[in-house]
Chain A
Amino acid sequence: MPCDPRITPDGAELQLVFDSDPFAVRRALAALTTGLAPHLPVPTDRDTVEIVLAEVLNNVVEHAYRAGPGRIELRIRPTAEGLICAIADHGLPMPGGMLPQGLLSTPATTDSLPEGGYGWHLIRMLSQDLCYCRDRGRNCLSFRLARTQSAPFQ
């Protein structure tokens, strides 16, 4: 099943292909921030886009390509419902073929606070229509980033 049928390879979307390297992710995020600025007049929406894309792309670098480097493909299409984003890589599949739940732990003491595991929580808090599939050795992740949204967390 395709991840998101709304993504089609025509000219109305932003596409980037880059290496699975944290500094390449930085450069991609800088290019996206500039490229998407006309579609994101509200500062909080720009924050959301950068946070979610950073988390998703860092996960690909750190987990999918942990055994060796590869390429990351990113496509973003601005629509009336928000930005439709699709990320593909040829790295290792998600454990269990599923996306992490991204639940925050609530330790009793600050000493036992985890030093990681916050990424999927942020992705799930800030994105909509999150979908993952593995297709012929490829990880496909898609989601929507609504515009001018307020944070759902109380």
Chain B
Amino acid sequence: MEMRTERHGGALLVHVADARIDAAVAIRFKDAMRDVIMEPSDRVILDLSQVAFLDSSGLGAVVAVMKMLPPDRPLELAGLTPTVEKVFRLTRMDRVFTIHPEAPVATDPGRLHAL
């Protein structure tokens, strides 16, 4: 799982570089995110604009990441591609997460996490 983190003000911006978050990598995604969110921030924005496909295992992993965070540190999503958007809509997860059409522009340079 390859991820890159940047800062956008008080938010930790996490760019997922893999094209799929599916059953084959859902656990690795969750483990990678557990490490990534160690960096303190007010909120976490997960940029999914490079993710063309996410299945229910991937969805479960995103829910698990949200539950790793305390209630006052929300997980927000950005840049959902059409298939990913469809999975969130059909499972009504689009009502649970704040979803931004696009990831915000970073205010600080980032770090690469290859996990």
A115 touches B23 (CB 8 A): no
Q: Which A residues are closer than 8 A to B by beta carbons?
A: 22-23, 25-26, 43-44, 47-48, 50-51, 54-55, 58, 61-62, 104, 110-111, 113-119, 121-122, 125-126, 151, 153
B24 touches A25 (CB 8 A): yes
Contacts of A117 in B (CB 8 A): 56
Task: For the complex, give the distance between the alpha carbons of A104 and B55 in Å.
Answer: 16
Checking B53, B55, B82, B92 against A43 with a beta-carbon cut-off of 8 angstroms, the contacting residue is: B82
Q: Given contacts A110-B67, A113-B63, are A104 and B91 in contact (CB under 8 A)?
A: yes
Checking B60, B64, B90 against A151 with a beta-carbon cut-off of 8 angstroms, the contacting residue is: B90
Tell whether B86 is near chain A: CB-to-CB under 8 Å.
yes
Q: List 13 A-B contacts (CB under 8 A).
A: A44-B82, A50-B83, A54-B22, A54-B53, A54-B55, A58-B56, A110-B71, A111-B71, A115-B60, A115-B61, A118-B60, A118-B87, A126-B90
Task: For the complex, give the distance between the alpha carbons of A8 and B20 in Å.
Answer: 33
Task: For the complex, give the distance between the alpha carbons of A151 and B89 in Å.
Answer: 10
A111 touches B60 (CB 8 A): no
Interface footprint category on B? 20 to 34
Task: For the complex, give the distance between the alpha carbons of A122 and B55 in Å.
Answer: 9
Contacts of A110 in B (CB 8 A): 66-67, 71, 96
Contacts of B96 in A (CB 8 A): 110, 113
B64 touches A115 (CB 8 A): yes
Tell whether B57 is near chain A: CB-to-CB under 8 Å.
yes
Q: Considering the complex of A and B, which 5 residue pairs feature the smallest CB-CB distances, nearest first?
A: A22-B24, A118-B56, A119-B56, A115-B60, A47-B83
B56 touches A122 (CB 8 A): yes
B86 touches A51 (CB 8 A): yes
Contacts of B71 in A (CB 8 A): 110-111
Query: Which of A58, A110, A115, A119 has most chain B Cβ within 10 Å?
Result: A115
A26 touches B24 (CB 8 A): yes
- Which of chain B's residues has its CB closest to A116's CB? B60
Tell whether B59 is near chain A: CB-to-CB under 8 Å.
yes
Query: Which of B23, B64, B67, B82 has most chain A Cβ within 10 Å?
Result: B23
Checking B20, B63, B86, B90 against A121 with a beta-carbon cut-off of 8 angstroms, the contacting residue is: B90
Contacts of A125 in B (CB 8 A): 90
A122 touches B91 (CB 8 A): yes
Contacts of B55 in A (CB 8 A): 51, 54-55, 58, 119
A122 touches B87 (CB 8 A): yes
Task: For the complex, give the distance between the alpha carbons of A47 and B55 in Å.
Answer: 11
